[in-house]
């Protein structure tokens, strides 16, 4: 079975734990390289949101797989629409992140979402961020990056993001939830969070976003050049 819709189109993957700066790095790289952007966490957040919104228990695997199969999102710039509702902000809530992490541990949900993620691979290229981009979804990516940061730093960053978006946030609750999410995302049987073999690993704890972008961009440019993409 082929693992990609268009193997010749270059993909940059960014994997890492919650609030490690994947989204910021992915957006910066996509803008610098002129590539499309895939925030794969959004798919799991949408399934989590639909489950909570429609009262489907997070333990009902069959119903959750159905929700994932029937997901028909519409992306319009930064806006995400689902079932006629604009959900960009709602999907960012901390409780939706936790629900996403729970549904993401189910193999059937992951399988149902795989095709839609691979369909994001379009010319001239794609930057994809998540937990299994380099290991499962795009194993043939030309450039793989794994970013980490200390949990205290990640909780502070997420707190700032949530407050800036006008969403509720509490730093000690965040610390606990991010810690639990780390354990669940890295400890699950299917597609656990881990660095892809050969990935460039960047610890961003003491780096600001522009330093991380500069390092990642230099790496991607040299990989794209050396593989003639
Ligand atoms: O990146 P994020 O915080 O939006 O992701 C929310 C959850 O979705 C995360 O805790 C685990 C899950 N996820 C996943 O399992 N695989 C991905 N490729 C992306 C996200």
Q: Mind listing the pLDDT tens digit for each residue in 89-139?
A: 999 998 999 999 999 999 999 999 999 999 999 999 999 999 999 999 999
- Indicate whether residue 104 lines ligand 1 (CB < 6 A): yes
pLDDT tens-digit map of 12-41: 999 999 999 999 999 999 999 999 999 999
- Indicate whether residue 144 lines ligand 1 (CB < 6 A): no
Taking the CA of residue 22 as reference, the ligand 1 atom at the shortest distance is 1
- Indicate whether residue 181 lines ligand 1 (CB < 6 A): yes
User: Which of 28-32, 141-145, 188-192 shows the lowest mean pLDDT across its residues?
Assistant: 188-192
- Indicate whether residue 109 lines ligand 1 (CB < 6 A): no
- Indicate whether residue 185 lines ligand 1 (CB < 6 A): yes
Distance 115 CA to ligand 1 centre (A): 16
4: pLDDT confidence band, cut at 50, 70 and 90? very low
Taking the CA of residue 188 as reference, the ligand 1 atom at the shortest distance is 15
Which residues, in sequence order, are CB contacts of 124 under 8 Å at separation 6+?
9, 10, 34, 35
What is the structure's pLDDT at 8? 87
Please determine, for residue 1, whether its predicted confidence score (pLDDT) is greater than 80. Answer: no
Q: CA 224 from chain center: how many Å?
A: 22
User: Which of 131-135, 167-171, 192-196, 203-207 shows the lowest mean pLDDT across its residues?
Assistant: 167-171
- Indicate whether residue 130 lines ligand 1 (CB < 6 A): yes
Q: Which two tokens stand for residue 87?
A: 């959900």
What is the structure's pLDDT at 89? 92
Question: Which residue segments constitute the domains of the chain, with CATH numbers given?
Answer: 11-221 (3.40.50.300)
Q: Does the CA dihedral 96-97-102-105 come out positive or negative?
A: positive
Please determine, for residue 173, whether its predicted confidence score (pLDDT) is greater than 60. Answer: yes
6: pLDDT confidence band, cut at 50, 70 and 90? low
């Amino acid at each position: 079975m082929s693992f990609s819709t268009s193997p010749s189109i270059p993909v940059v993957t960014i994997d890492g734990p919650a609030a490690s700066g994947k989204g910021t790095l992915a957006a910066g790289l996509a803008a610098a390289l002129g590539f499309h952007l895939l925030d794969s966490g959004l798919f799991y957040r949408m399934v989590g949101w639909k489950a909570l919104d429609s009262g489907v228990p997070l333990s009902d695997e069959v119903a959750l797989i159905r929700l994932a199969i029937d997901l028909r999102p519409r992306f319009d710039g930064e806006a995400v629409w689902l079932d006629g509702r604009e959900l960009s902000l709602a999907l960012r809530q901390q409780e939706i992140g936790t629900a996403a992490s729970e549904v993401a541990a189910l193999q059937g949900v992951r399988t149902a979402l795989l095709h839609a993620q691979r369909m994001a691979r379009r010319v001239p290229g794609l930057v994809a961020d998540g937990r299994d981009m380099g290991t499962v979804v795009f194993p043939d990516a030309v450039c793989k990056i794994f970013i980490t940061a200390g949990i205290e730093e990640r909780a502070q960053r997420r707190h700032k993001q949530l407050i800036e978006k006008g969403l509720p946030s509490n730093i000690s609750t965040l610390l606990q939830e991010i810690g639990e999410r780390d354990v669940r995302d890295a400890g699950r049987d299917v597609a656990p969070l881990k660095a892809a073999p050969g990935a460039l690993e960047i610890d961003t704890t003491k780096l600001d976003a522009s330093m991380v972008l500069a390092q990642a961009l230099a790496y991607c440019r040299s990989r794209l050049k050396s593989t003639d993409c």
